[in-house]
Amino acid sequence: MSSLTQTSTETLTETPRLGTETAIQIRKMNKWYGNFHVLRDIDLNVAAGERIVIAGPSGSGKSTLIRCINRLEEHQSGQIIVEGIELTNDIKDIDKVRSEVGMVFQHFNLFPHLTVLENCTLAPIWVRKMPKARAEEIAMRFLEKVRIPEQAHKYPGQLSGGQQQRVAIARSLCMEPRIMLFDEPTSALDPEMIKEVLDTMIELAETGMTMLVVTHEMGFAQAVADRVIFMDQGQIVEQNTPTEFFNNPQSERTKLFLSQILGH
Amino acid sequence: MSDANASPAYLRTEMLPSAAPPRRQEGLLGWLRENLFSGWLNSLLTVLSLVIIWSLIRHFWPWFAHSVWRANSLAECRQIITQTWGEGATGACFAVIRVRWHQYIFGFYPRAEYWRPILTLGLLFIALAPVLFSVNANIRRWVLAGGGLLCMVLLAVTASPDWTVVLVWALFAAALLLAEYAPMRLLMVTALYPVLAVWLLWGGSPWYPFMLLMGFAVGYGVSALVPRGVSALTGIAVTVLWWIFLAAPAASLATLILPLHLPVVQSSVFGGFLLSVVIGVSAIVLSLPLGILLALARQSNMFIIYSLAVVFIEFIRGVPLITLLFVALVLLKYFLPPQTHFDLILRVIIMVTLFAAAYMAEVIRGGLAALPKGQYEAADSLGLNYWQAQRLIILPQALKISIPGIVGTFIGVFKDTTLVGLINLYDPLKGISDVVRSEFTWKGIYWEPFIFTGAIFFVICFSMSRYSMYLERRLSREHR
């Protein structure tokens, strides 16, 4: 088992895995696109080290929810508190939260004009003011962890989709974030490449990183998640441990959803 | 085969190796057939085009073939043509170029000082080489060598003093050496170029423009000392204060210590390509950063900034350039305190720059709009602030997309500099030609000067166009 972050895995096995600390706190949060009520009365507490999978039909607001957590989307009412910082219009707070929260996108969003290594060192150098040599050292370590150090000097366009997504994960980890958000990280990948990305995410989960993952990969949810959240029409419909969620769904909506995605 | 298709089961036992593609028809004949005679319509069009080209050449060739290069007046030209080619023969009288070419290049710039614009041109090559060809050392070498050679030729044909030839030799030898071993040092020339160019072209003391340039350095230095939050504002304030209060005394002091003086040349004697290039290069260099700022402002969420940018861009684009030039000539004076001397060329440069910047902003906005939203989101999610995201992520990509449009605007601006002929400046196309024709000896000569100036414009614009293609190729190879 290889560890993705510097937190040593031994200490994690001895102490209870979930800290008592709260990483993210969302209270009565609402969001509208124009007149369309996308997120309705969202209440969610995420403990440090917790791994949450968010599932639901498309248009249910799950991507919007995690995009509110690093304020790529603005919420209109309610509270979001990330690592003790409340998200308001204060740009300083937003930048502080963003440097603690990493995000992996469906379409990777690597910077095509920079090499893989430059993609990884950019934010540590400019946001963390890290010397270039040190940033490169850290970047190489994470590129080794996601098993593509040999691609460091290539441009993203020369890599396969799976490799690009692993670079994107490494790029986020280089900022040494405390929370990682994944927005459908495998949805744009060829079936053959999904596994390499999921493996990387599983390894990351084993290091005790706080993770919120929007995905349709129910196998991943069963293997890694502490909690599965099911959303529909902008609301949290049901949440439970993976075992309970898959074996004993409560609401009709959840049952229908599960039968549709697991039924074939 | 039919057996394999008959049953649904099929198993490939060995993979096929890759084979060479089928050969196309080779050679000249194959090329002709494919490109010129691939069907009856295509063949017909080919023949038709050849007929048109042939008739054009037949019509114009004698005019070029009969051209006269040695004569002192148009009448003499015509006489020579009639004598040699018979009554009714037409021919070009390029003798006018031979006699008056220096006016097309330098306008009324004093003849004894021709070396100064030539040196300025040479320095322009040295200043641009490290910026335009930062990667490819080989091309940089050739551009520098070409610039040096051009200067030598110009110095020779203007019979400039020997010491200027030695100076240019030394300058280009040093530049080539620097380009070889420390190309980044050449950027020093680039940074100082505005001061050097102003000093060489207009004469006087170099210290005042130098102190103006120093304002930026002082502002930057101070901004580095104060806390981050207020650094940008402090920097700008210090720069402006320096310009208003300290630049002039500092310049006088420097003149006392090191009096460098060149004979003063008035703006009114500037003309020809000297004028076009001065206005064109200044407007091109200044309009790019201004255009970028305007494009960003137009994308801004801040209402006031956005509105100002939209009003400015739409106003400038809605007005012909010639209107702005008339404003520069006449109206601007009314807004200035009486007796202020505000150089006409400077006024024109400002107007042309504003004009170009408005178009530039729209071109760059196109590039910004073409970037996927994910690039902005990725930059945001990493915690980069607005200016970092723009400078490191957004602009490098947006500008790359906009290169053809940007260079197209540059070319347009450079050609538009001929419009200054309409506000009594001596542009090479109309202003100088009018002067030449106003003399009895060359009265009635039209085509030859047009062809000469047109050829020079073509060389410059074509170079810009080729450079843009080179840059696009280079960037697409690097970034993929």
**β-pairing verdict for A36-47 and A51-55:** unpaired
Q: Hey, what amino acid is at B21?
A: P
Q: What angle do CA A227, A62, A120 make, to 5 degrees?
A: 90
Nearest Cα residue to A209 out of A45, A4, A69, A68: A4
Q: Average the pLDDT over B412-441 and give the result.
A: 90
- Structure tokens belonging to residue B106: 């330098």
Average pLDDT, rounded, for chain B: 89
Asked if A132 has any chain B CB less than 8 Å from its own CB, the reply is: no
Inter-chain touch B383–A113, beta carbons under 8 Å: no
A12 has a pLDDT exceeding 50: no
Q: Out of B374, B383, B396, whose CB is closest to A127?
A: B383
Q: Does A210 touch chain B (CB under 8 A)?
A: no
Q: What is the pLDDT of residue B6?
A: 65
The model's confidence at residue A17, banded by pLDDT at 50, 70 and 90, is low
Look at residue B394 and tell me if it is in a domain.
Answer: yes
Mean pLDDT of B350-358: 94
HSE-up (13 A, CA, CB side) for residue B106:
23
- Residues of chain B with pLDDT > 70, as a percent, come to 97
| Residue found by looking up tokens 């051209």 in the block | B67
Arithmetic mean of pLDDT, B424-446: 89
* B133–chain A nearest CA distance, Å: 18
- Do the beta carbons of residue B267 and residue B344 sit within 8 Å? yes
A12, A48 in Cβ contact below 8 A?
Answer: no
Q: Which residues contact A79 (CB under 8 A, 6 or more apart)?
A: A25, A26, A27, A28, A29, A86
| CA dist., res. A172 & res. A164, Å (int) | 12
Taking a C-beta distance cutoff of 8 angstroms, is the pair A146, A166 a contact? yes
B138: in domain:
no
Radius of gyration of chain B (CA): 29
Whether B382 sits inside 8 A of A171 (CB atoms) is: yes
**Max CA pair span of chain A:** 55
A54 membership: H or E segment, kind and range: strand A51-55
Confidence at residue B208, expressed as pLDDT on a 0 to 100 scale: 84
At A192, the amino acid letter reads E
Strand partners, A214: A54, A183
Q: What is the DSSP letter of B244?
A: I
CB atoms inside a 10 Å sphere around CB B152: 16
Residue B93 three-state SS: strand
Under 8 Å CB-to-CB from B369, ≥6 apart: which residues? none
Predicted confidence (pLDDT) per residue in B237-247, tens digit: 888 888 888 88
Picking from A158-172, B4-18, B345-359, which range would have the lowest pLDDT averaged per residue? B4-18
Q: Which tokens hold the place of B116? A: 């100064």
Give the closest-approach CA distance of B190 to chain A in angstroms.
26
> What letter represents residue A206's amino acid?
E
Torsion of Cα atoms, A200 then A205 then A211 then A216, to 10°: 60
Substitution target from A64, A82, A122, A174 for chain B, most B beta carbons within 10 A: A122
Per-residue confidence band for A13, with pLDDT thresholds at 50, 70 and 90: very low
Q: What is the pLDDT of residue B24?
A: 66
Q: Which of A97, A121, A126 to mutate to test the interface with B (most CBs of B within 10 A)?
A: A126
Longest dimension (CA), chain B: 102
Amino acid A153 reads H
Q: Inform me whether the pLDDT recorded for A7 exceeds 50.
A: no
- Would you say residue B212 has pLDDT above 50? yes
From B244-253, B288-297, B300-309, B367-376, the region with the lowest mean pLDDT: B244-253
Residue B260 lies in a domain: no
- A191, A198 Cβ separation under 8 angstroms: no
State how far the alpha carbon of B443 is from the alpha carbons of A178, B96, B227, B436, in Å: 82, 11, 68, 8
User: Cβ(B358)–Cβ(B294) under 8 Å?
Assistant: yes
Answer yes or no: is B255 within a domain: no
Find, among A42, A47, A84, A72, the residue nearest to A231 by Cα: A42
**CA B466, chain centre distance (Å):** 12
Mean pLDDT (chain A) is: 88
pLDDT higher than threshold 90 for residue B336: no
pLDDT at B209: 84
- CA-CA distance, B66 to B448, in Å (whole number)? 13
Q: Please count the other Cβ atoms lying within 10 Å of the Cβ belonging to residue A240.
A: 17
Distance from CA of B375 to the nearest CA of A (A): 6
Q: What is the pLDDT of residues A214-234, one digit of tens each?
A: 998 999 999 899 999 999 999
User: Does the pLDDT at position A9 exceed 50?
Assistant: no
Beta-carbon pairs below 8 A across chains A and B: 70
Q: For residue A209, what are the contacts with CB-CB under 8 A and spacing of at least 6? A: A4, A5, A49, A51, A178, A179, A180
Per-residue pLDDT band at B248 (split at 50, 70, 90): confident
Residue ranges of chain B whose CB lies within 8 Å of a chain A CB: 372, 374-375, 377-378, 380-385, 388, 392-393, 396-397, 400, 475, 478-480
Would you place residue B479 in the very low, low, confident or very high pLDDT band (cuts 50, 70, 90)?
low
Question: Which positions ≥6 away from B29 have C-beta within 8 Å?
Answer: none
Chain Cα centroid distance, residue B87: 45
- Checking if the pLDDT of B71 tops 80, the result is yes
A106 contacts: CB under 8 Å, gap ≥ 6: A183, A184, A185, A187, A188
Residue B284 falls inside a structural domain: yes
Does residue A179 come out as left (phi exceeding 0), alpha (psi in the -120 to 50 range) or beta?
beta
Residue A8 confidence (pLDDT) above 60: no
Which of B65, B394, A149 minimizes the C-alpha distance to B386? B394
Residues of A in contact with B479 (CB under 8 A): 112-113, 155, 157
Q: Do B383 and A107 touch (CB under 8 A)?
A: no
* Spatial separation of the C-alpha atoms in residues B385 and A95, rounded to whole Å: 7
C-alpha span between B418 and B328 (Å, rounded): 15
Indicate whether A2 pLDDT > 60: no
Q: Please report which confidence band the pLDDT of residue A10 belongs to, taking 50, 70 and 90 as the band edges.
A: very low
CB contact under 8 A, B375 and A111: yes
What are the strands of the beta sheet with A235-240, ordered from one edge?
A: A101-104, A179-183, A210-214, A51-55, A227-232, A235-240
A107 and B374 within 8 Å at the Cβ level: the answer is yes
Closest CA of chain A from B167, distance in Å: 42
Total of domains in chain B: 1
Which residues of chain B are within 8 Å of residue A68 when distances are taken between CB atoms? none
Domain that holds residue B384: 272-480
Residues A41-91 pLDDT 10s:
999 999 999 999 999 998 899 999 999 999 999 999 999 999 989 988 888
* CATH code of the domain covering residue B297: 1.10.3720.10
Average pLDDT of the segment spanning B157-163? 90
Q: Is residue B237 part of a domain?
A: no
Residue from B98, B118, B94, B96 nearest B106 by CA: B118
Q: Pairing state of beta strands A22-33 and A77-82?
A: antiparallel
d(CA B350, CA B286): 9
Taking only the tens place, the pLDDT of each residue in B218-229 is 888 888 887 776
Distance from CA of B124 to the nearest CA of A (A): 30
Query: Has residue B247 been placed in a domain?
Result: no
Q: How far is CA B88 from the centre of its chain?
A: 43
Count how many residues are written for chain A: 264
Please state the ipTM of this predicted complex. Answer: 0.88
* Interface contact B383-A171, CB threshold 8 A: no
The pLDDT of residue B45 is above 80: yes
Dihedral sign for Cα atoms in the order B183, B184, B189, B193 = positive
Quote the pLDDT of residue A11.
41
- Answer whether residue B127 is part of any domain: no
d(CA A75, CA A89): 10
Task: Quote the minimal CA–CA distance from B137 to chain A in Å.
Answer: 22
Put simply, the answer to whether A126 touches B384 (Cβ < 8 Å) is yes
Examine the pLDDT at A191 and tell me if it is beyond 50: yes
Question: Chain A partners of B472 at a C-beta cutoff of 8 Å?
Answer: none
Cβ neighbour number for residue B39 with a 10 Å cutoff:
8
pLDDT greater than 80 at residue A259: yes
pLDDT at B478: 60
Confidence of residue A18 (pLDDT cuts 50, 70, 90): low
The pLDDT tens digits for B168-209 are: 999 999 999 988 888 888 888 899 999 999 999 998 888 888
If pLDDT is split at 50, 70 and 90, which confidence band does B213 have? confident
Can you tell me the mean pLDDT for B452-476? 93
Portion of chain B with pLDDT greater than 90, in percent: 50
**B97-124 tens-digit pLDDT:** 999 999 999 999 999 999 999 999 999 9
Mean pLDDT check: name the lowest of A11-15, A92-96, B126-130, B143-147: A11-15
CB of A95 closer than 8 Å to CB of B383: yes
Nearest chain B residue to A95 by CA distance is: B383
In single-letter form, the type of residue at position B12 comes to R
Average pLDDT over residues A137-156: 93
